Amino acid sequence: MPTRSQTLAKATSLRSMFETQGAALVEPPILQPADTLLDLYGEDIRARAYVTSDALRGEQMLRPDFTVPVVQMHMAHGADPARYTYAGEVFRRQEDDPARANEYIQVGYEVFDRTDPAAADAEVFALISEALSGLQVTPVTGDIGVLLAAVDGLQTTDARKKALMRHIWRPKRFRQLLERYAGRAPMPKTRAALLAGEVTAQTPVIGKRAQSEIDTRIEALRSDAASPPISTREVDLIEGLLDLKGTMPQVLGRLRDLAMDLPQIQESVARVALREAALKARGINTETLMFEASFGRSSMEYYDGFVFGFRSEMRPDLPAIASGGRYDALTRQLGHGGEIPAVGGVMRPGLMLELEGAA
């Protein structure tokens, strides 16, 4: 295992590489306001972060990653375009897998540039790929934007689309909802009894939800139950999209075919094609570059377009050695009316040193 000093030296070297590309060095505080992350992800983020509080600052989180504070900083007073780099500790709770590190050093590169998003995607991917050269790692790419567009264009209620959008990053729950909305899964007996008015209770309301909130939720469930199911054709197309996997040219051809039946994804597919051309221009061999339509659905929930990851061929037990993606919507959420296309990626120098030592 590499020592902390070795990992810090590696992190400094990687950060310097990004500085030579014109990136400004930033150092967000380790303690971050919890309210921003809770607004973005809801209470789910508590399961992945360390939360503390004090009387003056309220709830705070140990930095779970750098992207959110960098976006906040940029949207407050950043230049246009801008490039940033950073290196430092991040903290992730690992209650389900104690073998994985809950504190590690991360090095990143973020690009805010509205002139050519495809070129910015390729820039980030190519620089990280270059930094990893010599290591036995395999890159995989995807595009969350294609799936988001597919869901947004479904012929169903806004409430159902919002629910599916919310659970895109929870693949099992997403499939369950899709099956239920298509009428392929039976309604749970307790819910059926509730909606039929067969459930009554004389006990007082206990908990944070008021009776009015409970009534509103029941009415929403009744409205959903009365809505027509999503067509079998649409569900099959979405499931076909989720299963797409192959080299970038192979999948791009199949995406174009699929867009004939799912016209709402045409713009997103066109962006994938532009990105492939930009990657080629950066010297990336896209003929062998893997593309998985479902890739990135277990990463941070702010990605809404291009996603990528590099995994070890020798150590499949390790998490991603590097990963990243596009997060345009996050700049809108944190920009208070402003927005700018943005993409970034991070590397784990400690894991890189482990692989170098094993080579």
The pLDDT tens digits of the residues spanning 8-47 come to 999 999 999 999 999 999 999 999 888 877 777 666 677 7
Least confident of 116-120, 215-219, 329-333: 215-219
Is the separation of the CB atoms in 111 and 83 below 8 Å?
yes
Mean pLDDT of 148-165: 94
- Comparing C-alpha atoms, which of 18, 117, 119, 20 is closest to residue 70? 18
At residue 338, the pLDDT reads: 86
Edge-first strand order for the sheet with 31-33 is: 31-33, 58-62, 51-54
Q: Which residue has the higher pLDDT, 205 or 310?
A: 310
At residue 335, the pLDDT reads: 86
Spell out a b/e string for 178-193, using b for 16 or more CB atoms within 10 Å of the CB, else e. bebbbeeeeeeeeeee
Residues 263/269/273/275 CA torsion (nearest 10 deg): 150
User: Looking at this protein, which amino acid is placed at residue 314?
Assistant: M
CB atoms within 10 A of CB 62: 19
Q: Is the pLDDT of residue 117 over 70?
A: yes
Please report the DSSP string for 54-88 in residue order. ETTTEEEEE-S-SHHHHHHHHHHH--SSEEEEEEE
Which pair of tokens denotes residue 262? Answer: 């799912």
Reported confidence tier of residue 193, pLDDT bands at 50, 70, 90: low
Which pair of tokens denotes residue 42? Answer: 């809801």
* Domain range list for the chain: 155-231
Mean pLDDT of 214-225: 63
Least confident of 126-140, 172-186, 190-204: 190-204
SS3 344: strand
Reported confidence tier of residue 215, pLDDT bands at 50, 70, 90: low
At residue 313, the pLDDT reads: 85
Q: What is the pTM of this model?
A: 0.88
Mean pLDDT of 168-187: 86
- Whole-number average pLDDT of the chain: 88
Residues 227/233/235/238 CA torsion (nearest 10 deg): -140
DSSP state of 170: S
Instruction: Give the count of alpha carbons within 13 A of 336, CB side only.
Output: 7
Is the separation of the CB atoms in 289 and 139 below 8 Å?
yes
The counts of H helices and E strands in the chain are 14, 12
Q: Is the pLDDT of residue 315 over 80?
A: yes
Reported confidence tier of residue 213, pLDDT bands at 50, 70, 90: low
Q: Is the pLDDT of residue 274 over 90?
A: yes
CA angle 147, 297, 168 (to 5 degrees): 55
CB atoms within 10 A of CB 350: 21
Q: Which residue has the higher pLDDT, 40 or 330?
A: 330
